């Protein structure tokens, strides 16, 4: 939506997003279906945490509402009290909100409609389109037939309307034990679509519900509740994933039998799969319960809360969801695209700061002892408005162990004996000596600096090929840095691996904790959740739970692209 200079909001009419669902909606709008209304919903079941796959659905549903000037409801699909919990409701609300979407006062629960749903069931019975069936679960399964063979009709199928009404009411009243009876739609036991072979509509569950308590002991099935909840909320486009495609005839059957006026329609799209990632609930639970990760919000988890704790931004996730598109072909998106979206977002936003993860001491021999010098450096070259900050330079500094090599290969631009390198925002130094311990480990590097090459100074135009980051020994601060990598080794995705094999495919290096890193003192003031670019290394986020001003803890969100690493490999 564009705001005109007069302050009048102009509705965007050139809906540029292109997907088959957008096309359908554009066409419905052209035909003035639903009087031009577009109303979607995101219907999570509160039985687990939201993950990146849900983000696609959230962005689609809320995105469509925004784009077509419509509305999107948040509706909890809480029709099965044995699986659902308040705790998940809370977490899901937090995640959807964090992603940047709002539903105003349209937060609903399928359980809000249990009375109406019951009435719909009674109506169906009265129309002779539903009956109470006494078959056991096993018998129902037998009677259903198979993919290739038609089913048989239940012996209870021809009960009178009166008897059905009486029995259904007594089911509701709690007269029968779990599993003893169900309400079934009377459709077609020989349908090639198994969903139409007299599907179960209501089952008996003497179970306390997280919202309705003990009021009910019969609960509607998803297939019954969903289309009717959609209709009650006046949803126009009910968007779900591919596996519900052959539930659509049942969805339509119920809507046609019970709803007058505008009828919601169901459309299906392919759910998101990501490389190096699993998203099935069972697999994720196995990781958490087996202690392979530290909870649902472990920064390696593909949950929304995991991404949040890792340091991903909602903007990056939304951009990603826009870019992957929406179609009906099963696909596996390269996680590199997600990382690209993240880097692009953080490149603009994240202040630069210097942090030495694996420090080695450098002594600048010709720099006076006890002298300190304040140098200025930009906070973010991509964003001049972010201003500048001061660095303190001195005789003893730390640099990255990796930025020095005694016997460098060709094209190594960093420090080595006799070679020069620039210290970012400071001076050019030259290595004159290397001090080692008895085992041959480098403990100190001796350098000289060229006072004429102060950063920003008039004589600073001398060029060297490499620039490295550093911190002063006497004002550096210690930090713990957690380097995260993919949870799974390459070539793994949800479809390519079964539940039992995931553990063997775990990446043993998915987390490396480094203590005693040396970082700029300004980081003492950083707040949990704050994000930075550690110069030349990557984007890092102060941990939401463990970071505080006395004990700094940063998560690596994603490393910077590294061309040198590529060259080295070859």
Active site residues: 45, 271, 281
Q: Determine contact, residues 274/301, Cβ cutoff 8 Å.
A: no
CB of 131 to RNA, least distance (A): 13
The residues with which 480 forms a beta bridge, in sequence order, are 553
| Residue 31-50 contact track with RNA, rule CB under 7 A, x = bound | ------------x-x-----
Q: How far apart are CA 120 and CA 114, in angstroms?
A: 10
Helices 314-324 and 335-349, packing angle to 10 deg: 140
CB of 254 to RNA, least distance (A): 14
- Residue keyed to tokens 């490389």: 275
Q: Which of 3, 4, 147, 438 binds RNA (CB under 7 A)?
A: 147
Q: Which of 9, 12, 20, 123 binds RNA (CB under 7 A)?
A: 20
CB of 526 to RNA, least distance (A): 18
283 near RNA (CB under 7 A): no
Pairing of strands 420-423, 467-468: parallel
Task: Give whichever of 181 and 310 is closer to RNA, judged by the CB atom.
Answer: 181
Secondary-structure breakdown of the chain: helix, strand, coil percentages, each rounded to the nearest 5: 30, 25, 40
Q: Which residues in 525-536 are b (16+ Cβ under 10 Å) and which e?
A: ebeeebbbbbbb
497 near RNA (CB under 7 A): no
Q: Give 467's DSSP letter.
A: E
CB of 249 to RNA, least distance (A): 8
- Angle, alpha carbons 539-540-542 (nearest 5°): 155
- Single out the segment in contact with RNA by CB under 7 A; choices: 58-66, 85-93, 114-122, 326-334: 326-334
Q: Which of 36, 100, 295, 325 binds RNA (CB under 7 A)?
A: 325
| Residue 123-142 contact track with RNA, rule CB under 7 A, x = bound | ------------xxx--xx-
**Entry field: residues in the chain:** 570
Q: Which of 424, 430, 446, 505 binds RNA (CB under 7 A)?
A: 424
Q: Determine contact, residues 275/493, Cβ cutoff 8 Å.
A: yes
356 near RNA (CB under 7 A): no
Task: Give whichever of 416 and 544 is closer to RNA, judged by the CB atom.
Answer: 416
Q: Give 309's DSSP letter.
A: H
454 near RNA (CB under 7 A): yes
Site for RNA in 247-276 (CB under 7 A): 247, 270
Give which of 520, 568, 487 is closest to 357, Cα–Cα. Answer: 520
| Chain centroid offset of residue 360 CA | 37
Q: Which of 460, 475, 507, 548 binds RNA (CB under 7 A)?
A: 460
The alpha carbon dihedral of 264, 266, 267, 269 has a sign of positive
212 near RNA (CB under 7 A): no
Q: Determine contact, residues 365/435, Cβ cutoff 8 Å.
A: no
Backbone angles phi, psi at 307, to 5 degrees: -65, -40
CB of 150 to RNA, least distance (A): 9
2 near RNA (CB under 7 A): no
CB of 341 to RNA, least distance (A): 8
Retrieve residue 293's tokens.
């990760």
Q: Which of 222, 234, 442, 507 binds RNA (CB under 7 A)?
A: 222
Q: Give 361's DSSP letter.
A: E
Q: Which of 23, 102, 441, 516 binds RNA (CB under 7 A)?
A: 23
Q: Which of 122, 221, 392, 432 binds RNA (CB under 7 A)?
A: 221
Task: Give whichever of 8 and 147 is closer to RNA, judged by the CB atom.
Answer: 147
């Amino acid at each position: 939506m564009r705001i005109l200079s007069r302050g009048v909001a102009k509705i965007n009419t050139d809906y540029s997003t292109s997907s088959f669902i957008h096309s359908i909606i554009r066409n419905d709008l052209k035909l003035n279906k639903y009087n031009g209304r577009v109303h979607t919903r995101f219907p999570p079941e509160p039985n687990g945490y939201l993950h990146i796959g849900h983000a696609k659905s959230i962005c689609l549903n809320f995105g469509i509402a925004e784009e077509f000037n419509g509305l999107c409801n948040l509706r909890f699909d809480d029709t099965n009290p044995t699986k659902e919990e308040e705790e998940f409701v809370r977490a899901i609300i937090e995640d959807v909100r964090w992603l940047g979407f709002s539903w105003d006062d349209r937060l609903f629960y399928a359980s809000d409609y249990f009375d109406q749903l019951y009435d719909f069931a009674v109506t169906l019975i009265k129309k002779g389109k539903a009956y109470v069936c006494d078959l056991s679960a096993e018998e129902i399964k037998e009677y259903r037939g198979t993919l290739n063979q038609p089913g048989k009709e239940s012996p209870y199928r021809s009960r009178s309307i009166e008897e059905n009404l009486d029995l259904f009411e007594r089911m509701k009243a709690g007269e029968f034990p779990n599993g003893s009876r169900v309400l079934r739609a009377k459709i077609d036991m020989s349908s090639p679509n198994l969903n139409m072979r007299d599907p179960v509509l209501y089952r008996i569950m003497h179970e306390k519900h997280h919202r309705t308590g003990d009021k009910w002991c019969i609960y509607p099935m998803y297939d019954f509740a969903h289309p009717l909840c959609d209709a009650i909320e006046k949803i126009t486009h009910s968007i779900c994933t591919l596996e519900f495609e052959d539930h659509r005839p049942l969805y339509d059957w119920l809507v046609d039998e019970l709803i007058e006026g505008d009828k919601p329609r169901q459309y299906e799209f392919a759910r998101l799969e990501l490389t190096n990632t699993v998203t099935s609930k069972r697999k994720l639970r196995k990781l958490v319960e087996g202690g392979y990760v530290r909870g649902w919000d472990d920064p390696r988890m593909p949950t929304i809360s995991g991404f949040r704790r890792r340091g991903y931004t909602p903007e990056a996730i939304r951009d990603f969801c826009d870019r992957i598109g929406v179609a009906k072909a099963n696909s596996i998106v390269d996680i590199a695209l997600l990382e690209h979206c993240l880097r692009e977002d953080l490149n603009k936003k994240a202040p630069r700061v210097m942090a030495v993860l694996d420090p080695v001491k450098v002594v600048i021999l010709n720099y006076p002892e006890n002298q300190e010098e304040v140098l200025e450096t930009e906070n973010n070259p991509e964003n001049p408005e972010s201003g500048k900050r001061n660095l303190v330079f001195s005789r003893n500094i730390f640099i990255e162990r990796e930025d020095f090599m005694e016997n460098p290969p060709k094209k190594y631009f960093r420090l080595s004996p006799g070679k020069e390198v620039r210290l970012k925002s400071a001076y050019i130094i030259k290595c004159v000596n290397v001090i080692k311990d008895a085992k041959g480990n480098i403990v100190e590097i001796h350098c000289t600096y060229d006072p004429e090459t102060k950063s920003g100074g008039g004589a600073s135009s001398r060029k060297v090929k490499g620039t490295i980051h550093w911190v002063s020994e006497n004002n550096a601060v210690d930090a713990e840095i957690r380097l995260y990598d993919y949870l799974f080794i390459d070539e793994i995705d949800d479809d390519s691996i079964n539940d039992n094999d995931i553990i063997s495919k775990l990446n043993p290096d998915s987390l490396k904790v480094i203590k005693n890193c040396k970082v700029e003192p300004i980081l003492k003031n950083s707040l949990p959740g704050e994000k930075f670019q550690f110069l030349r290394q990557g984007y890092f986020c102060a941990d939401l739970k463990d970071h505080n001003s006395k004990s700094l803890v940063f998560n690596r969100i994603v490393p910077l692209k590294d061309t040198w690493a590529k060259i080295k490999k070859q």
